[in-house]
């Protein structure tokens, strides 16, 4: 057994079995198994292999302060039976993957030798800053490869939760081509609560406006469009995009977001989307996970608007199906 904390060359009798059955590490020409530090901890805890020497953990931690977190991510994925190949070993199977990807995952009944991976995986600390544009681009490229973009989040207790990413294109039934012209031409509005109230008689804009006893209320963001403000705020530009998509817009305050968006007329179905303003959105993964979990609890998809060369895309961070919610079995 080697003692290098950066890489463990395991030469024990289980090397062939670990490679053939679990596809863990990298099988060398001499028959030994090369394991990353996180993989070494996994086989130590879950395959009962002794580590190279008594000080190995200390040495490995001194060289990689995130070792325990990475191990917990690997544990969460592998204990249910998934096969996980770190990107440094994917060349063994002649697989392409995204540069930001940490590993690829196969289900327990598949093998990298004869099947494509189900997902590409990244992991983050819950305190890490959220980078929506970069995550959106990664998710799109992974989805284009017919794989699931999976993210694993680990907190200070070394507890792990998993989420899936996607680029959503919400669409509603309304095709109001003249809406952008109708809004700036509204008149008879009265200032109220940072917004405006308009007479409800002959109100024709079904996608927007909250009925009240005194008329139809438009909030401050919608009022920017009515007033013809230039330039429009980021929120107003997003609102226009959502309206152009044919969605009905209502406040999302009760759900911790800016808007809830309906695909159909209110009363015909629930609002499937919650949209947050980037300036008001969570800044780290802890906040994003909380927002996504809240949305999932009310059967909605949490969307983060991302601007791409002048057009708006929507990053969705969603809880996986029940059979794909990877979490570590125990905390040490």
Is residue 117 one of the residues assigned to a domain? no
pLDDT at 310 (0 to 100):
87
Q: How far apart are CA 26 and CA 33, in angstroms?
A: 6
Q: Which two tokens stand for residue 291?
A: 């927002």
Task: List helix spans (H) across 82-213.
Answer: 132-144, 179-182
CA nearest neighbour of 167 among 310, 325, 311, 306: 306
Is residue 76 one of the residues assigned to a domain? no
pLDDT higher than 70, residue 5: no
Mean pLDDT value of segment 71-76: 98
pLDDT at 323 (0 to 100):
93
Is residue 236 one of the residues assigned to a domain? yes
CA nearest neighbour of 220 among 260, 189, 244: 189
Q: How many CB atoms lie within 10 A of CB 45?
A: 14
Is residue 188 one of the residues assigned to a domain? yes
Element (DSSP H or E) covering residue 287: helix 285-297
Q: Give the residue with greater pLDDT, 33 vs 177.
A: 33
Q: How far apart are CA 114 and CA 108, in angstroms?
A: 13
Q: How far apart are CA 103 and CA 152, in angstroms?
A: 11
Mean pLDDT value of segment 23-32: 95
Is residue 190 one of the residues assigned to a domain? yes
Under 8 Å CB-to-CB from 126, ≥6 apart: which residues?
A: 153, 154, 155, 156, 284, 285, 286, 289
CA nearest neighbour of 30 among 8, 7, 9: 9
Chain segment 206-221, per-residue pLDDT in tens: 999 999 999 999 999 9
Asked if 93 and 85 touch (Cβ cutoff 8 Å), the reply is yes
Q: What is the DSSP string of 49-67?
A: PPPSSTTHHHHHHHH-TTH
Is residue 169 one of the residues assigned to a domain? no
Which segment of 138-152, 172-186, 243-257 scores lowest on mean pLDDT?
A: 172-186
Q: Which residues make beta-bridge pairs with 163? A: 151
Is residue 94 one of the residues assigned to a domain? no
Q: How far apart are CA 331 and CA 314, in angstroms?
A: 34
pLDDT at 2 (0 to 100):
36
> How many Cα neighbours within 13 Å face the side chain of 299?
4
Chain segment 278-327, per-residue pLDDT in tens: 999 999 999 999 999 999 999 999 999 999 988 999 999 999 999 999 99
Name the average pLDDT for the chain: 94
pLDDT at 329 (0 to 100):
87
Q: How far apart are CA 318 and CA 161, in angstroms?
A: 11
Question: Looking at the chain, how many residues does it have?
Answer: 332
Q: What are phi and psi of 296, to 5 degrees?
A: -60, -35
Asked if 125 and 69 touch (Cβ cutoff 8 Å), the reply is yes
- Residue 324, preceding peptide bond in cis (omega within 30° of 0): no
pTM above 0.85, yes or no: yes
Total number of domains constituting the chain: 1
Chain segment 92-133, per-residue pLDDT in tens: 999 999 999 999 999 999 999 999 999 999 999 999 999 999
Q: Which domain holds residue 198?
A: 174-242
Is residue 82 one of the residues assigned to a domain? no
Chain segment 247-278, per-residue pLDDT in tens: 999 999 999 999 999 999 999 999 999 999 99
């Amino acid at each position: 057994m080697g003692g290098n904390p950066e890489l463990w060359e395991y030469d024990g009798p289980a090397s062939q079995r670990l490679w053939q059955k679990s596809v863990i590490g990298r099988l060398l020409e001499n028959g030994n198994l090369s394991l990353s530090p996180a993989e070494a901890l996994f086989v130590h805890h879950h395959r009962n292999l002794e580590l190279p020497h008594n000080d190995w953990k200390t040495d490995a931690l001194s060289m990689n302060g995130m070792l325990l977190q990475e191990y917990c991510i690997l544990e969460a994925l592998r204990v249910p039976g998934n096969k996980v190949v770190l990107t440094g070993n994917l060349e063994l199977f002649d697989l392409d993957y995204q540069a930001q990807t940490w590993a690829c995952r196969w289900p327990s009944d598949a093998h990298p030798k004869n099947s494509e991976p189900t997902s590409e995986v990244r992991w983050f600390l819950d305190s890490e800053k959220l980078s929506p544009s970069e995550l959106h681009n990664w998710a799109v490229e992974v989805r284009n490869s017919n794989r699931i973009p999976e993210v694993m989040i680990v907190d200070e207790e070394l507890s792990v939760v998993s989420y899936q990413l996607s680029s959503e294109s919400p669409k509603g039934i309304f095709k109001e081509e003249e809406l952008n012209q109708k809004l700036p031409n509204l008149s008879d509005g009265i200032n109220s609560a940072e917004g405006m109230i308009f007479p409800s008689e002959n109100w024709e804009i079904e996608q927007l406006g909250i009925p009240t006893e005194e008329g139809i209320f438009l909030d401050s963001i919608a009022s920017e469009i009515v007033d013809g403000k230039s330039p429009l705020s980021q929120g107003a530009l997003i609102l226009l995009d959502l309206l152009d998509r044919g969605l009905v817009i209502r406040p999302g305050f009760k759900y911790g977001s800016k808007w809830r968006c309906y695909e159909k007329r209110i009363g015909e179905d629930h609002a499937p989307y919650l949209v947050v303003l980037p300036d008001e959105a969570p800044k780290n993964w802890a906040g994003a996970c909380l927002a996504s979990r809240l949305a999932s609890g009310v059967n909605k998809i949490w969307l983060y608007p991302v601007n791409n060369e002048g057009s708006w895309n929507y990053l969705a961070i969603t809880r996986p199906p029940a059979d794909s919610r990877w979490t570590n079995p125990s905390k040490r």
